[in-house]
Amino acid sequence: MGYWIAIFLMVLGWAIERFKLYALIAGYNTMSKEEKAKVKIEDVARLMRNTFFGIGAVLIFVEYFSADLGLEGYQAMMQSLVVVVGVLVMIIQSNGERYKK
């Protein structure tokens, strides 16, 4: 199951940046035009792509190596932790000054 989620996140991150699906970015589609003009949306989309690829790669790693690492019983917890930490990092970074004009 983790493989499918990882692949979905990777494809979603790629599609958001490649096809400019900025409406999928939470909060961006509800901003006024003035607020949207203050955001470097291409950079935010690139951050999302990179974060989703990172989350997906770690999910695949956990899925593939959980038996070798002795984490069979903790696989779902590890995957949930990876997603939560990845999303928190993405939210914190995207609200930084680097992504504002």
How confident is the model at residue 75, as a pLDDT?
87
| pLDDT tens per residue across span 45-89 | 999 999 999 999 999 998 888 888 888 888 889 999 999 999 999
How confident is the model at residue 28, as a pLDDT?
93
| pLDDT grade for 96, boundaries at 50, 70 and 90 | very high
Determine the Cα–Cα distance for residues 32 and 78; give it in Å rounded to an integer.
Answer: 38
Determine the Cα–Cα distance for residues 75 and 82; give it in Å rounded to an integer.
Answer: 11
| pLDDT tens per residue across span 3-51 | 999 999 999 999 999 999 999 998 999 999 999 999 999 999 999 999 9
Determine the Cα–Cα distance for residues 35 and 33; give it in Å rounded to an integer.
Answer: 5
Domains of the chain: total:
1
* Whole-structure pTM value: 0.90
What DSSP designation does 100 have? Answer: B
| pLDDT grade for 94, boundaries at 50, 70 and 90 | very high
Coil vs helix vs strand at 96:
coil
- Residue-number span of the structural domain to which 24 is assigned: 2-99
What token pair was written down for 93? 């970074």
